[in-house]
Structure 1
Amino acid sequence: MLCNTKKERLLILLLIRAMLPAEGLASLPCFVGFDLGTSGARISIIRPSNDSSSYQELHSDTVSWSDEKRYDDPDAWMSAVAILLEGSAAYLSSVASICFSGTSASCLLIDRANAGAVTRRPRMYDYDVCHSVDPIYGVRALTRLESFAPPQHTTRSPTSSLAKLLAWHEQTPLTKQEALAHQADYLALQFLSENKACGSGPSNFRSVSSDWHNCLKLGYDVRNLCWPSWLLDCLSQANIDPRNVLPEKVVSPGEPFGTISRRMAERFGLPATTVIVGGTTDSNAAFFASCPSTANVGTAVTSLGSTLAIKQTSRNYIEDASVGVYSHRFPSVLMPASTSEAYWLAGGASNVGCAVLRQQNFTNDELRDLSLLIDPNVDSHYRYYPLTKKGERFPVADSNKEPILHPVPNDRAEYLHGILQGISDVECGGYLALSKLGADPPIPHTIFTSGGGGKNEMWRSMRQRRLTDTFKENVQVLRAQNSEPSFGAAVLAAAHLRVS
């Protein structure tokens, strides 16, 4: 009953298309993507290019988090989205669809009977249930998971959505009205129509819609496209009703949830026919931004933001929670029409990343100037593991892994060299882990780089050399032309119109 069939999704699409103006889709040429990240929120508005094989970005803007606008505050998320929409007023009357991207496994609990009001504050992507204020609840949650989840399943990670849900229940039992929503799900919920056909029921009742990518770490079976029996049994034996707590609708990223609510359409001047589509996670959105028109196997994207994430398109599904590897199903709306087999986005996300540079007080000017003093063809003799705090997710899942950032040399260029090399080593280890687990092809032929770190040409050269040394085969590392996850979310917003 909790599965979503292809027939059901196509019926939804036909219903939405029937609501569009008779003159056709060309009258609604703009597509909006949002990304809610660790440093701020961003909007991208795109339209197809003249050859229809790529997209042109018409507008983009960013709102940074501050002490008053925390990255883990749902009110701040909505405030940022509102500011970004209000700053995009010139384009909003032509918007056809909207897609939201959020950080992976960032989730919260809402009250379905009270218009989706937040009942328990978000536990973000790096929240480790074993390192919480009272870790006993996390230990109990993981112990329960070990009895039900398949070996090496991604939900066994102490940062998974399912681990967070079970730990919440261990701490204070869930009510019948509480439901889990990921960051992207929550934002979509705020914009969806209250009509019953779009997921709502009587009065203030709301249901959660989600997508393949966000639900992976909640236990959704992305191969068979349903909630698996082991998950339903796990929740039931914990006295949690799966029908209440799990998203009621799970679609491919980019497939329609429903249309926008009249209240939101009127507030922001959006068309009443605006479609809200299934979202994605930030690193997946970065992949679609970097190579939006191709699903060629062997293409990879390294996202060098506050944290490091890698994705590689593979013919094989691979998974191993002990090293933080999992596979997302490639969105059906982006698959070539001639391809019947599923593709997979195999990868993982590390806690290592560019956030450590801020922690070590490197300024933008320093990063630019000191990088010019570093020879990318020479190894640093420092062997750092540049975490900002204890705990790692990938390419090893170790809640107790400590940062290694010492000794600190007097020369800041040497220190930067060692840190950037340390992050590069984690990237190499990540792709090597995918290869050992059976990614097909085993070696990425091209790696596009997204995120702020992708702008550093010296670092790109260093990474290409170290990746080539790791695999004993040439690996091309390129800077992505478009690298913002918000752009990738906009690509998904546009993609559902390709479904016939």
Structure 2
Amino acid sequence: MGERVTSNGTDAPVTVGIDLGTQSVRVVLVEEDGAEVSSGSAPLTSERSDEVRHEQDPESWWEAVGEAAREATKDLGGRPVDGLAICSTSGTILLADKEGRPLTPAIMYNDGRAAKEAETAQEVGHELWDSLGYKISGSYALPRLLWLLEHGFGEGASRMMHQADFVASRLAGEPVGTDWSHALKTGWDLVNERWPEGVMEHLGVPVGLLPPVVRPGTDLGEVSARAAEHTGIPAGTPIRAGMTDSCAAQIAAGALEPGRWNSVLGTTLALKGVAPKLLRDPAGVVYCHRHPDGGWLPGGASSTGAGVIPEMFPDADLQALNGEAEKRGPSSAVFYPLATKGERFPFSAPEARSFWEGEPEDEVDRYRAVLEGVAFVERLCFAHLDSLGAEVSGPVSSTGGGARSRLWSQIRADVLGMPVIVPRSSEGSVGMAILARAGSGPVAETATSMSGTKWEFEPEGSNGGLAENFERLADAFVERGFIHEDLAHRARLDG
């Protein structure tokens, strides 16, 4: 990439955002106005998985970060870098020694081996979790930590690390702390801002194993000379505490005001909004991150999403499928598109699996049913949030890979009954570059000035066919005991 001349000149500072995903790492350089200067990416290919086991080699993250960062910074020249921040998958952890070297594989966010440990953690700490408004499930990091310790992996361990912590530590050249966003699912008390020592001791978790926790945007350290050589990011660049991937996308979208929501439509679907007060969910499927500026970021993560598409249509021309599906009306069949076994939001059902109601006419009809099914689940998510007192007036910013489909965004606008906005950037990495720019200052203000809109979709006309399909799916959920009739009624498209 050649030298880029900007309104601020070629010496204008940039910030770096790093997104550690499931399948790849992405690194971006972003200017003060939010414009992306350059980027790099690298695949993650070390995953070992079966139906319940999902692991990665942490060293593969570091190698991929080096590859992606060198690509992004190859034309940096002497431009100053004002900071970097990292987002990663929520609930992914490992154990490391005192030097930060991994002693275990990374147990990924979708690993299902800690179901019993989740029940134990929930029972032991239920009073605290109730006060924080959530329930410990198998998708949380705390049960995975218990599983590692109970299976003898704690010997010699000095630090539990989240995915972002490991890479930040490698960049700094020594172990660093974590942010309160990644720490939430490990049991961090967001109200009192501390690790709950009594609960941890009862569970057999040494408190000394847990990292120090800071506000997102706080300086954790600086890029070391050795890390600079590996990544191309200048030595001395401030490393700032990041947030989880869905929070990062929310920042990128600028969806940090009450009423606005961000839907991350990637392999799975995650929703994040803003609330002045902590939302407490008796069902335990909604949890609240802390807003870096004060207040709360409620949301939840579904197991539906775009992850089923490559499995169901491995050799298809998706662009052509989108074009053909756009010419059709609502699908003749209804599909519940789970990317993995078990549902987390808008209901908790570890036993849930994908299912059909009716038979699709052809591949195009089958594809459209997937798009509609995710939109229907998303509507149920908003209905559940509304029942808790959240403001869900919209608009909805759409980020993640699924946001690239204009058809999908229009279907979701029609189903949700509110505008769907695709921001200029749908990347968590850009959200982290924005957070790195804000540092310890107001994140919402910085995000507003740096984000922009690419597309906007308004609800269109009659949605009779979509309403019928939605009711078919909602009725199927009621019959299976996944949701109550009152939630199905609240969520009706003509309600």
Length-normalised TM-score, structure 1: 0.79
Counterparts of 1:425 and 1:102, CA distance in 2:
27
Q: Secondary structure of the equivalent of 1:150?
A: helix
Question: Which residue number in structure 2 is paired with residue 13 of structure 1?
Answer: none
1:154/1:217 contact within 8 Å kept: no
Q: CA RMSD in A?
A: 2.7
Output aligned runs, 1:411-422, within 5 Å.
411-422=362-373
Question: Which residue number in structure 2 is paired with residue 360 of structure 1?
Answer: 312
Write the letter of the residue equivalent to 2:198: D
Pick one of 426, 439, 448 that aligns with 1:483: 426
Pick one of 340, 355, 361 that aligns with 1:389: 340
Write the letter of the residue equivalent to 1:170: E
Deviations 1:425-451 (A, max 9, x none): 111111111111111xx2232111111
Q: Secondary structure of the equivalent of 2:166?
A: helix
Counterparts of 2:401 and 2:232, CA distance in 1:
32
Output aligned runs, 1:450-461, within 5 Å.
450-461=399-410
Pick one of 105, 108, 122 that aligns with 2:94: 108
2:279/2:287 contact within 8 Å kept: yes
Counterparts of 1:235 and 1:69, CA distance in 2:
29
Question: Which residue number in structure 1 is paired with residue 30 of structure 2?
Answer: 46
Question: Which residue number in structure 2 is paired with residue 156 of structure 1?
Answer: 136
Counterparts of 1:101 and 1:393, CA distance in 2:
21
2:268/2:303 contact within 8 Å kept: yes
Write the letter of the residue equivalent to 1:247: P
Counterparts of 1:375 and 1:264, CA distance in 2:
48
Question: Which residue number in structure 2 is paired with residue 445 of structure 1?
Answer: 394
Pick one of 235, 239, 247 that aligns with 2:211: 247
Counterparts of 2:332 and 2:313, CA distance in 1:
22
2:250/2:256 contact within 8 Å kept: no
Write the letter of the residue equivalent to 1:211: D
Counterparts of 1:378 and 1:372, CA distance in 2:
12
Distance 1:100 1:436, change over 3 A: same
1:428/1:466 contact within 8 Å kept: yes
Counterparts of 1:263 and 1:430, CA distance in 2:
45
Counterparts of 2:410 and 2:17, CA distance in 1:
31
Write the letter of the residue equivalent to 1:331: P
Question: Which residue number in structure 1 is paired with residue 187 of structure 2?
Answer: 219
Counterparts of 1:59 and 1:375, CA distance in 2:
33
Does 233-242 or 171-180 show the bigger shift?
Answer: 171-180
Matched positions, count: 427
The Cα of 1:152 is off from its aligned counterpart by 7.5
Write the letter of the residue equivalent to 1:427: E
Q: Which runs of 5+ in 2 are unaligned?
A: 1-9, 50-54, 444-495
2:260/2:273 contact within 8 Å kept: yes
Question: Which residue number in structure 2 is paired with residue 287 of structure 1?
Answer: 250
Question: Which residue number in structure 2 is paired with residue 63 of structure 1?
Answer: 42
Question: Which residue number in structure 2 is paired with residue 466 of structure 1?
Answer: 415
Q: Secondary structure of the equivalent of 2:239?
A: strand
Counterparts of 2:131 and 2:231, CA distance in 1:
47
Length-normalised TM-score, structure 2: 0.79
Counterparts of 1:356 and 1:166, CA distance in 2:
30
Write the letter of the residue equivalent to 1:213: S
Write the letter of the residue equivalent to 1:275: P
The Cα of 1:319 is off from its aligned counterpart by 3.5
Deviations 1:10-64 (A, max 9, x none): xxxxxxxxxxxxxxxx977111111011221111101112xxxxx1110112222
Distance 1:238 1:40, change over 3 A: same
2:121/2:136 contact within 8 Å kept: no
Deviations 1:148-174 (A, max 9, x none): 643785451111111111222222273
The Cα of 1:275 is off from its aligned counterpart by 0.3
Distance 1:140 1:82, change over 3 A: same
Counterparts of 1:329 and 1:457, CA distance in 2:
32
The Cα of 1:465 is off from its aligned counterpart by 1.1
User: 1:324 and 2:288 equivalent?
Assistant: no
User: 1:398 and 2:398 equivalent?
Assistant: no
